Amino acid sequence: MSDEIVIDVRGLTKSYGGRKVVDDFDLKVPRGAIYGFLGPNGSGKTTTIRMVCGLLKPESGAGEVLGFDVLRESLKIKERVGYMTQKFSLYEDLSIRENLDFIARLYGLDRRAERLDRALAELGLSERQEQLAGKLSGGWKQRLALAACMIHEPELLLLDEPTAGVDPKARRDFWDRIRQYASQGVTTLVSTHYMDEAVQCDAIAYIAYGKKLIDAPTAQIPGRIGLHAWRMAGHPLHPAELMLKDAPGVELVARFGAEIHACGKDAAALERAVRRVQDAQPQLSAAPIEAGFEEIFIYLMSGAMDNFQ
């Protein structure tokens, strides 16, 4: 990471049918960073990413991406950005190699054959290069899509939920690759639903209902939210879980194997709620714990942050 800012957008706003899907959105992403973009479904992540890469025109706002004006120089931005769409958007009736060749030609790349061979080998697609893209499984499609958006060696990767519907092994490989690119100075803005992916990001921007609510280095996120947590264990857990869910002061109840974690921002109210449950179910143990990333992200992704300011 360096001090150079690769994405610098201010006040991006977009509405559909009178509803603001993205509202006054600011973001600064330094070069080489892996920036996580989190938020519940429909919160405006895809719209924001599309505005950053010039696929949608913001109603208002301004900004620069890689030093080029978001509104006026989108062609220059497109030449230097690799965008991976949420839905597979390469040609299912072209083979893997034909797809990559098409993209390579559109970017006007020289030494195409060499670049294609290298990209195919790097992603482990050499054996399958003549296979039609439509016949690939989700994981392989995702590899192909990543290869396609990397073929012109972009400085910035915009990945829109790249690992949705991909098996854990393929997701790990994918992230290894992203980190490797980051070490080479490639900046990544990636939206995700998975907390194991979110924790791998250097920083996180959290968006809900089109508004950015949190934007901080990942390590600072728990502190920013100020979430308190209690752990309860014992038998039976289910009645306690139900009681906690309705209790005032409890904003999140999550099951972790043989224990439940109850979280809330008001420490006193949370403790009162847990104590009440323990009075009713004295065989259960209860102890305060530090709210970890897992609780934080379940809390964030469940949309519990809607009214957070």
Per the omega criterion (within 30 degrees of 0), is the bond before 236 cis?
Answer: yes
Give ∠ CA 190-69-201 in degrees, rounded to 5. Answer: 15
DSSP state of 155: S
Residue 83 vs 299, nearer CB to another protein: 83
Q: Is 94 in the site for another protein (CB under 8 A)?
A: yes
Residue 93 vs 279, nearer CB to another protein: 93
d(CA 98, CA 112) in angstroms, rounded, equals 12
Q: Find the shortest distance in angstroms from Cβ 52 to another protein.
A: 11
**Side chain identity, residue 264:** G
The number of C-alpha atoms within 13 Å of 49 and in the hemisphere containing its C-beta is 28
Phi, psi of 73 (to 5 degrees): -120, 40
Q: Find the shortest distance in angstroms from Cβ 4 to another protein.
A: 23
Residue 115 vs 228, nearer CB to another protein: 115
The site string for another protein over 155-184 (x = CB under 8 A, - otherwise) reads ------------------------------
Q: Is 97 in the site for another protein (CB under 8 A)?
A: no
Q: Is 258 in the site for another protein (CB under 8 A)?
A: no
Out of 24, 28, 71, 102, the only residue in the binding site for another protein (CB under 8 A) is 102
Question: Quick one: which of 151, 158, 155 has its CA closest to 186?
Answer: 155
Residue 55 vs 199, nearer CB to another protein: 55
Subset of residues 33 to 92 that bind another protein, contact rule: CB under 8 A: 50, 53-57, 75, 78-79, 81, 83, 85, 87-92
The pair of three-digit structure tokens given for residue 139, joined into one six-digit string: 């994981």
Residue 15 vs 180, nearer CB to another protein: 15
d(CA 85, CA 92) in angstroms, rounded, equals 15
Q: Find the shortest distance in angstroms from Cβ 259 to another protein.
A: 43
Residue 86 vs 281, nearer CB to another protein: 86
**Side chain identity, residue 119:** A
Out of 26, 98, 117, 215, the only residue in the binding site for another protein (CB under 8 A) is 98
User: C-alpha dihedral over 29, 31, 33, 34, to 10 degrees?
Assistant: 80
Residue for token pair 């054959």 = 113
In the chain the first and final C-alpha atoms are separated, in Å, by 29
d(CA 103, CA 149) in angstroms, rounded, equals 8
Residue 2 vs 137, nearer CB to another protein: 137
Judge contact between 112 and 104, C-beta under 8 A.
yes
User: Which residues are bridge partners to 29 per DSSP?
Assistant: 7
Residue 148 vs 296, nearer CB to another protein: 148
Q: Find the shortest distance in angstroms from Cβ 25 to another protein.
A: 17
User: Which residues are bridge partners to 215 per DSSP?
Assistant: 205
d(CA 274, CA 153) in angstroms, rounded, equals 53
Q: Find the shortest distance in angstroms from Cβ 74 to another protein.
A: 8
Out of 3, 93, 130, 279, the only residue in the binding site for another protein (CB under 8 A) is 93
Q: Find the shortest distance in angstroms from Cβ 19 to another protein.
A: 15
Subset of residues 106 to 135 that bind another protein, contact rule: CB under 8 A: 106-108, 132
Question: Quick one: which of 73, 35, 33 has its CA closest to 57?
Answer: 73
Q: Enumerate binding residues for another protein (CB under 8 A).
A: 50, 53-57, 75, 78-79, 81, 83, 85, 87-94, 98, 102-103, 105-108, 132, 148
